[in-house]
Amino acid sequence: MKSNPNLFLAWLWILLGFVSGMTLGMFFHHENWLGGYGSFKRRMYRLAHISFFGLGAVNLLFWLTLQKISAAEPMAQIASWAFIIGAIAMPVCCVMMAHFPKAHLIFAVPVLSLIAGGVLTLILLQGSQTSLINTRLQPGADAGSRTKPFQRLSRAGKTVETVLVSFVSWHRAEARC
């Protein structure tokens, strides 16, 4: 099985989330630790802690997505590194901001990196969506029934028509509210 940096980073970040939570937890009972519960410094440390879990999950989801689409494309590699850079930069920026609040523009690094990774992943999914649908749609099982050709998605177990009808019904209900 080929190693993937996003999968490795995902589990490393989850582990660091546990470790940073333990470290923060050892001191949270001190009322004025890092300036008290509502202080900017303490909030930034908490944000750094939770970013380990959140961005670990994002990298895990990206790795799972790559299992369904072609990861060999250059765009997939760029998206992969964008998610990695964003995951590494976010907790670093949070801790830096805790001590240097005027450096708030530093958040552009992880945020723009993560946005780029998300946009590139959506483009990859959009590009692969046509090929996934074309390979997974099968003609209706019974030609004599009312089942339309290319209606059933074999892998998902739901029909495209059911999903579309559900969405349209939901949208109509929302429009009435």
Task: For the chain, give every domain's residue range.
Answer: 5-137, 141-176
161 Cβ contact partners less than 8 Å away, ≥ 6 residues apart: 148, 151
Confidence of residue 74 (pLDDT cuts 50, 70, 90): confident
Cα dihedral sign for 164, 169, 172, 177?
negative
**How many secondary structure helices (H) and strands (E) does the chain include?**
5, 2
What does the DSSP 8-state code read for residue 141? S
Cα gap 2→141, rounded to integer Å: 38
Confidence of residue 142 (pLDDT cuts 50, 70, 90): very low
Question: 66-83 burial string, b = 16+ CB within 10 Å, else e?
Answer: beebebebeebeebbbbb
pTM of the model: 0.69
